[in-house]
Structure 1
Amino acid sequence: MTWNSRLDVVEALEAAGWTADAERPLEILRHPGGATWAVWNDSGDCGLDTPGGGTVEFPGDVADHIVTAACMAAAAGAVVLPAGAIPEDKSPALCQQNRRGDARKPEPHFYKPGEDGVLRCVFCSAPAHWGGELAPAYRTPDNRVWTLAAESNKEGVALYEAPFVETRYTAFVLETMYIGQGGIERVDEPEAPPYVLNSMSVNQSPQTAVKHIPDGDGRTICPGQFRGTKPLPQEKAAEYALCNGCRKALLARYEAAEHADA
């Protein structure tokens, strides 16, 4: 690679304690907790391997601050597993809505950055942070997105963090800081994606049937285009494996959108 367009990311990660690879110091950095970030080409396409076994890919047009924020989130309070260890089914590194195969084993989250600058799993909408219970994020007038940190203050109040800002603040302090500049904007968690069953199938058992992703017009997005049932409750949907055809169709949409934006 002749030029690394992600030098700002490299510098930010090194300042945060990430270690550069001995042979490719400007292309691969590792965090002591197990996260690894690498840039792949001159266009800035890069990826992040999280400590829990998940993978996040960033096309070259994703802003540096979003890439850096994802790396910081993976490193802060990360779920650290020994090398070669397999996460347990209930590990936060695994998505309960992304089960595959006859064993119904959950697979890692598949994160993509949203318009609000927050990485979320395309299968369950969970944000890519590892700290405590899920909480809203906030956007400040300087266009920073503050997400829940992996720690609280001494009074036990949740703290929020933003890329390139060393200090973490409570939501109240953030609101006070920006009160004269338009205030802070709550970034609400989106609704989790809906899942349905094939309404024409007599097999509705979580042990043998699969769930599908609806297309919004009564059918499923997989090649079978089955007629769907009413959306399942999220807790019930998590018991089913996901249709491979629906999974491929969903990921293909994201890939097509990225190529269209390039």
Structure 2
Amino acid sequence: IAGRLRGLSAREARRSAEALAHELDIGPWMDRRALPEGGGLSGGIRRLTGFAMAIAAPAPLLILDEPTNDIDASRRRLLWDALRRRGDQGAGALLVTHNVAEAERIVDELVVLDRGRVVAAGSPARLRGTQDNDLRLELQLAPGAADPSELATAPPVRQRVRTGRRTLLTVAATDAARGVAWATAQREHGLLEGFTLAPATLEDAYLALTAPGAAPGSAELDPADPHQETAHV
């Protein structure tokens, strides 16, 4: 029906439906009649069916609101692959999502909203504000302990974000060994419960941009560091 409404012939609409059922792995539900209010189908299958209806016929722009909610991990990847293929064919997509990790993998440009206010816009790499070889040193502070990353003995950091007992430090890869040795010492002194080292992500930038007191367009980076790049709207 969605294909016919968008101008496809009956044959074209059927062919599109069959191709999408295979592409999104929803073939077993293709001819199942949904009960009122979607009864008889899981939330994930209903969501995938809605997505299939949106892309049943070529369109210059797709508008998607939380398209992967309720969808299992394997079919979620199929959805993103399908969306990326349409993008490669020239279609645009306006996507609303709270899943920062998914946004980092799929989008070309993004806008970060905080309580209805635009706080940053740009590519994921620009909003991360980091070099490709930057790493994230995540500290889990001990209960009641001061944040040792604010002391002069801490390793050089490009960015620091504090959320509760969790502190995220963005460090250069060349300082990784020093950072791990320092964090190990802080744990032995009882200031940290633990720490992890991983590549810097868009989530780090998102937390900085939406932290209390953060200025619009700023990830609260250290202005003394010339390697940092602030995202502006």
TM range (shorter): under 0.3
TM-score under structure 2 length normalisation: 0.24
Task: State the structure with more CA Rg.
Answer: 2
Larger RCO: 1 or 2 (CA < 8 Å, sep 6+): 2
TM-score under structure 1 length normalisation: 0.22
Determine which structure has the larger helix proportion and give its number: 2
